[in-house]
Structure 1
Amino acid sequence: EGVEFITNTSIGVDITADQLMKDFDAVVLCTGATKPRDLPIAGRELNGVHFAMEYLSKNTRSLLDSGLESTHYQNSPVENFINAEGKKVVVIGGGDAGNDCLGTAMRQKCASLINLEIVPPPPS
């Protein structure tokens, strides 16, 4: 009993789909969006503008390296660490990655936080 995570694996190369179905009762494919979608907008090239996965992966690395210390972001040794503490933060986009960025910025004690997301209008 239990859960086994298999990462960095190419189905059809490292293991066949048939082998997965033979060895496991259930298979969940979690592909995630690791390639950011850049926005062609004025100011995109400015310092302080980051992609979600860049921000989140550096924070996760810092948190794990610190032994899960809640103040890991204050003196992180992670190279090019992104710290939102005391900053005015705008998150453009939503979904899981956007929400993770919101939560991370709040935990880092950002000064303010705005989320911009395009959503369909509510039903009448």
Structure 2
Amino acid sequence: MRTVWALMAPVLLHLIFAAAALASEPVTGVDILIRSKSDGRVIVQTITDNRGAIVIKEMRPGSYSVEAGSKLPMALIKRSGSWGIALIPVATKTAKPQSHRARPSAQGMQVDIVVPEGVPISYTVIVTY
């Protein structure tokens, strides 16, 4: 029985954290750009899906910048002061969920994240307001 719980625990924790992140309304069609803070290289460039999410596979440890909404109309970005960007690790053994408030600007929203040392980690990124 312990083996079953040990195998299911990461999945259950992922679902619990995902539900908490989705307590705010997810935003679909938001442009996302993730860059390495060390060299400015673009790692991911995409838009959020119909769940307001993207999946980033196997991010290496380091510091990154998540930029969202640079292509959205400024009126939409300024509509609410409660924008957020959540990163939920697909496997919770090596990383904790991250939740960030994002302040809108003329360039969209931007938050800095740190992927902890260890093996590369896959994240689900959710943009909410």
Between Structure 1 and Structure 2, which shows a larger proportion of strand residues?
Answer: 2
Q: TM-score, normalised by structure 2?
A: 0.26
Name the structure with the higher helix share: 1
Q: Which has the higher contact order (CA 8 A, sep 6+)?
A: 2
Rg comparison, structure with higher value: 1
